[in-house]
Amino acid sequence: MSTVDPAEYRIAHLRDRLASEDIAELGIRIEQRGAGVMLYGSVSSSACRDEILRIAREELAGLELREDLTVVRADAPDRSEELT
């Protein structure tokens, strides 16, 4: 009989929520590291990052949560690039 680590179950539930809720973030990697959980990847806005962290704190309450979420912008540049 095998037992499932409760943290693994909670991580899987977090992945499901991030994929299915309005946020629909599929590019975030979630890994169990020792007694904690690490989230990393790129997001489209700081609001998106905040929402991901809010959901992660709900799902992973009681576990150490570390993150390296980078906000990347797809906006057009506000000035021209100078080439030399």
Which residues span the domain enclosing 61?
Answer: 6-71
* Higher-scoring residue by pLDDT: 18, 79: 18
pTM of the model: 0.77
Q: What is the pLDDT of residues 32-84, one digit of tens each?
A: 988 899 999 999 888 999 999 999 999 999 999 999 999 987 666 677 777 87
User: Judging by DSSP bridges, how do beta strands 36-43 and 29-33 pair with one another?
Assistant: antiparallel
Please state the separation of Cα 7 from the chain's center in Å: 16
Instruction: Decide if 56 is inside a domain.
Output: yes
- For residue 38, the domain's CATH number is 3.30.1340.30
Number of domain units in the chain: 1
Cβ-based neighbour number of residue 57 at 10 Å: 11
Q: How far apart are CA 47 and CA 35, in angstroms?
A: 28
